[in-house]
Structure 1
């Protein structure tokens, strides 16, 4: 998936499965009939592709992945691609189960690639809800906890107390509409325009390889490596827990580069999760994060803090949006919005140009692609014919899709204002009127580039609807809620089309893809609020200096405040910095695109940092960027030593590191709920402070 998954901005990181992309390229370059290997395998009907064991496996993995995504959302918001782990773990669990049944003679239905695809689709749909649900962004931004971090907008009309009941109800009301918005265009996207959907294609080749004899052997080795990595990560996290008696203790507060650097949030915090994330994300993503941390915490914030009492009041609390925190939040928002605006405009232009080119090419079918041999054409024709045959076999009538969209939209228009009285029925109606167009643009652009811009459309909705409603009438809540409505449509539309592409390449029925997406979405709507509530009750969520700072909660609320209050909410000189970084986010992307088009042998565009990635450390600091750079360093050294082995096993090692530490948060949270504290506090003091402590203890 790639969901993207801040997956908010995280959707950019979800397109970062480098190892799988490499495998995909290799597969495509091999002149082998993919479907010829499965010629003797019977393709089950769509009802037999969605099996009970597939649904049970999906539910188990959905719970696991919801914990992983929730933890990542609440820490830094950087979500890597989890498609590889979903496909691999789904294969491992069901293959182990069917092997046991086969040995005792009870196996009735063999494990097929179509069933594997259903599991992967279901799990990714569920974990995608964990991202797009906004429990760590726009929904959390409504809470009194986040609202209390700033004086402006902290009024009853602009605050909503979180409750598991209305959160779950809101997700069920809005999360299914997007599934129907893009279904009528599936044949145009997949068959007519032949959009690649890189993540969906990579996942399909991965699943196809699992179910060939050679691929199954490699998959078993990958599972073994993933399991070892998981055990190490889980055990190391358990070990670290014993040294965290109070806040500020433990390995996660190790002053790796000295105490002064630690105060500026530069240290390695021994997080195996983000080391694993760094192994999955492209090198430039991790370097961009580090550059952003250096620019902000190393240069800008110390300079602005030296103006305390001049640019902003010295009496303000550190968390006030009218003080240093305001610079951190609003400058980060500006850079994200600049990056987002560029990509929205770029994608619209690219979509229009591509549509015109596709229509023009249809008028001249005599054009022969240079360099394509008869053998290549035979291979492509055989695979394409067989895949098209099954893709057209089980259709979803357009009347059903259109009727489903209208009915669910009406339900949402009626229900959402009961949950958020600040939003009126006509606000929701306007959202659902324009959403299908944006869903098409997002799905089409995602097919071309693998970029999902759902979060950017959500941010635009915040600004539009918060300013429309106004501060006095609850514009902050209205903007944040409209973000959820918009994101749920735009995100699920592109995700579903990715799944249709995966199904097309694995001969999975469109109906099984659609219904597994529906089931996975339902699982996500149920599990996501429960998992979030588990963290919410066990830990101090939203504390900027705590274990779970949930950065996007304050960032999204800051966008809503910009919508209702405008520039009046910014501290002194913050507006100039905001404008500068907004244009910087736009221009950096533009420069990168221009360098791409003037390609040189040095590929300079690859060394241009990502503004979106640079903006995240502006608020959080550089500790997680250092973790991710360590992951990149491990991968780089592994590739230098044995590139093929790194390509085969690095995603499995990374997935194990992520799963192990993330799942340790479950027993750790349970212990916290029962007030069981770690026995030891490991803390680091300067020599002078240590002397004072010794003297104090001796005197007492």
Structure 2
């Protein structure tokens, strides 16, 4: 018996040693965790501002071109680490360094940057907000109901709707992070990245990653600058290079030498890039050539490219049907996961009738079963409380201001519409935050579409239902999007021992930055490019026309659709649901090759050219992984981030040159042999 007891003690000792070896916090035991006010430093905010401008340009460019925005958390964390580390070393050499750079400060930078650049997405500059404009309204069936962008009202609108989501889920942070132990994959991955940066080995790798990022940033920026010289007018330059032939080019099948899409392709999963290409082949390779032959039978001949009574109507509404089918399925799926997960967790933990709130402490019995890492994290997470009354009071106060203010910005959006949204928004924000914790999906756009149809139909066509629906979409999207973003940041803070207060404050500061930076960046694009939002533009803003037409469908019904378009919409709507269902039923192992309908829908409107670029990015990463997987895993995201950042930031000087009236000097165009002979003959005469 004594021998068995000793063996048991030995086993316990071995388990404790293994736990210590796998412990993250053991590495940081000698580092004192600074109080929350010292985590939010002036240098962190200064770096956050610079990176926020950079990332806002990147997100805005992607928003106005394809609408596909990859996760930029890795880039934000990496660049934040590099800037502050370099600054700290400079001060250290001069003897002026007063505070070392900690992982908590790194987390604050990442939180600020992601919150700020997130406004460039949730602000709807490539979707609902730009869909209100006259430029987009001219392409839709209802051309009279519009509101043109202006810097003043956009900033005011964002300030009154972007903070509500933060206050709506603050009281539930303990339930989500500690009690339910939700994974929040993006927040967890970001935390592991930041923790690794602040170890000796991680710092060395980070230095190499930053060097790779800087190299490809320079290459991408220089290549974008070089291409600019050949784009004197539309359809000029490398972006008009008929790399697959002139016939294919007419149907938008070409490689446009865009570094930003190659970088996005390296970050996005393979299945997204393949889905985009399949969608482009199905639409521009098969469907549109067939529908062109129906001109004069199914729709009137000689219509403009933007007339929704013709081929453009099929392109827009079939894409909308795919998006709505996919969105509805995933919304119901995540809501189902949310309800089942809540039920199981409440049952297994045998909770009391009242759920725990943020100010309650975990029971001592639970504490004793936790690892040393978890005990330290929980202690830190519960140390700086955010009072529940502060969150509730903040939500009520901002709601009151918003209910009074928004009808002055959008007279069509009555105060009682807004009141109803704010009454149901906290429950939807919780669902979105919980679903993101389980699946890493934020379904903010799905909740926004629900608001479009419900508020638009409630208002009606005669009372500005289109603008009311689009504005309601913005209100709902901002609430549920910032709620899930904040909970992701709380998870990151939990794993890096960052104070919840510093996370909340940095999120508020980042959101404040975004409410000013994002509209200013959009305004530069809007003023610099007169064809912004048109299908053939460099910046077609595909989701703007789609959101606009969703609002019109919700208000006016299907009367304006071309012949058989409604039938095709039903087919693709049902197909999106069936494809998703089959993908889930067969499981991840066998369903990895089944395409994603949401991704397939995007090239239906703007063409497959960007999908070709993204597939090239996937191919580069695939070959790299086969040659050296470890190196590809370490440096792939850094290389991709460099390509995205370089091309993305070039849009700033390009926009300034356009505003100053400086045009590229050369037009590089490609003609068929026959057309070239005609041009030569004309010039010769």
- TM-score over 0.5 for the alignment? yes
Q: Distance in 2 between matches of 1:558 and 1:424?
A: 21
2:558 equivalent to 1:572: no
Residue 680 of structure 1 corresponds to which residue in structure 2?
A: 666
Give the Å deviation of 1:284: 0.3
Task: Report if aligned partners of 1:122, 1:520 keep a CA contact under 8 Å in 2.
Answer: yes
Give the Å deviation of 1:269: 0.3
Q: Distance in 2 between matches of 1:202 and 1:571?
A: 47
Residue 645 of structure 2 corresponds to which residue in structure 1?
A: 659
Superposed, which structure 2 residues align to 1:155-554 within 5 Å? 155=144, 158-363=145-350, 381-539=371-529, 540-554=531-545
Q: 1:131 aligns with which of 103, 121, 124?
A: 121
Question: Over aligned residues, Cα RMSD in angstroms?
Answer: 1.5
Q: Distance in 1 between matches of 2:681 and 2:60?
A: 44
Give the Å deviation of 1:135: 1.3
Report how many residues are paired: 653
Q: Distance in 1 between matches of 2:442 and 2:658?
A: 37
Structure 2 length as normaliser, TM-score? 0.94
Q: 1:104 aligns with which of 69, 74, 94?
A: 94
Give the Å deviation of 1:31: 5.3
Q: 1:614 aligns with which of 580, 593, 600?
A: 600
Q: Distance in 1 between matches of 2:43 and 2:658?
A: 34
SS of 2:26's equivalent in the other structure is helix
Q: Distance in 2 between matches of 1:472 and 1:161?
A: 20
Residue 153 of structure 1 corresponds to which residue in structure 2?
A: 142
Q: 2:60 aligns with which of 67, 70, 78?
A: 70
**1:215-262 residue CA offsets vs partner (Å, 9 max, x unmatched):** 000000000000000000001111111111111110011101000000
2:589 equivalent to 1:587: no
Q: Distance in 2 between matches of 1:627 and 1:29?
A: 45
Give the Å deviation of 1:316: 2.3
Residue 357 of structure 2 corresponds to which residue in structure 1?
A: none
Task: Report if aligned partners of 1:33, 1:379 keep a CA contact under 8 Å in 2.
Answer: no
Task: Report if aligned partners of 2:20, 2:26 keep a CA contact under 8 Å in 1.
Answer: no
Structure 1 length as normaliser, TM-score? 0.92
Give the Å deviation of 1:30: 11
Task: Report if aligned partners of 2:67, 2:542 keep a CA contact under 8 Å in 1.
Answer: yes
Give the Å deviation of 1:380: 5.7
Task: Report if aligned partners of 1:292, 1:613 keep a CA contact under 8 Å in 2.
Answer: yes
Superposed, which structure 2 residues align to 1:76-87 within 5 Å? 76-87=66-77
- When residues 378 and 214 of structure 1 are mapped into structure 2, their CA distance, relative to the original with a 3 A threshold, is farther
Task: Report if aligned partners of 1:153, 1:471 keep a CA contact under 8 Å in 2.
Answer: no
SS of 1:418's equivalent in the other structure is helix
2:533 equivalent to 1:563: no
Residue 638 of structure 1 corresponds to which residue in structure 2?
A: 624
**1:436-473 residue CA offsets vs partner (Å, 9 max, x unmatched):** 11111100010001000000110111011111111111
- When residues 398 and 434 of structure 1 are mapped into structure 2, their CA distance, relative to the original with a 3 A threshold, is same
Q: Structure 1 residues 272-281 or 603-612, which shifts more?
A: 603-612
Unaligned runs of 5+ in 1: 1-27, 365-376
**1:197-228 residue CA offsets vs partner (Å, 9 max, x unmatched):** 00000000000000011100000000000000
Q: Distance in 2 between matches of 1:228 and 1:93?
A: 16
Give the Å deviation of 1:323: 1.1
Give the Å deviation of 1:315: 3.6
Q: Distance in 1 between matches of 2:527 and 2:153?
A: 17
**1:291-329 residue CA offsets vs partner (Å, 9 max, x unmatched):** 000000001111111111111111421101111111111
Task: Report if aligned partners of 2:167, 2:395 keep a CA contact under 8 Å in 1.
Answer: yes
SS of 1:607's equivalent in the other structure is coil
Unaligned runs of 5+ in 2: 1-17, 352-366
**1:352-393 residue CA offsets vs partner (Å, 9 max, x unmatched):** 1111111222149xxxxxxxxxxxx99961000000000000
Residue 25 of structure 1 corresponds to which residue in structure 2?
A: none
Give the Å deviation of 1:631: 0.2
Q: 1:54 aligns with which of 37, 44, 53?
A: 44
Q: Distance in 2 between matches of 1:347 and 1:167?
A: 31
Residue 633 of structure 2 corresponds to which residue in structure 1?
A: 647
> Runs of 4 or more off by more than 6 Å in structure 1?
none
Give the Å deviation of 1:582: 0.6
Residue 691 of structure 1 corresponds to which residue in structure 2?
A: 677
**1:55-101 residue CA offsets vs partner (Å, 9 max, x unmatched):** 00000000000011011111111101100000000000000000000
Residue 141 of structure 1 corresponds to which residue in structure 2?
A: 131
Give the Å deviation of 1:432: 0.5
Q: Structure 1 residues 353-362 or 57-66, which shifts more?
A: 353-362
Q: Distance in 2 between matches of 1:68 and 1:348?
A: 31
Give the Å deviation of 1:29: 11
Task: Report if aligned partners of 1:32, 1:379 keep a CA contact under 8 Å in 2.
Answer: no
